[in-house]
Amino acid sequence: MNRKNRAVRKGDLMWKMLLPIMLLIVCLAGCRKQDMRTVVVAVPGLKNQACAQIIQDAFMRQPGIKAILPDIQQRTLTVTYDSMVIARKNVEFTIAGAGFDANDIPAPTNVIAALPAACK
């Protein structure tokens, strides 16, 4: 076997080793897609901007939340989120965890008690 054939074989071997690794990297980078969804949540305790700020602060700790739009007149919260990162029920539980009933999820009484008087 001459030198040229050995060099070609080494190159082929390197490609055979690198190709699966490169394909794996491409798949992992491209397979994860966003699934943006918007949900309107009824929040009866959403009485003013201070209440809205409490809820927005609770979402600052949640990954996957893209936008929060409070409607104080309708007492609703429109939340845009990535469903690949956070589920709809988690959105509701985050609002409840901030001290506000969210759709059919009640807020814990101890958290409600800690809210400012204007939000109770």
pLDDT in tens, 66-78: 999 999 999 999 9
Query: Can you state the angle between helices 88-97 and 49-59, rounded to 10 degrees?
Result: 120
CATH class of the domain comprising 36-119:
alpha beta
pLDDT tens for residues 3-44? 555 555 555 666 566 666 666 665 555 556 778 999 999 999
Contacts of 112 (CB under 8 A, 6+ apart): 99, 120
- Its pTM stands at 0.73
Sheet holding 36-42, edge to edge: 36-42, 76-82, 65-71
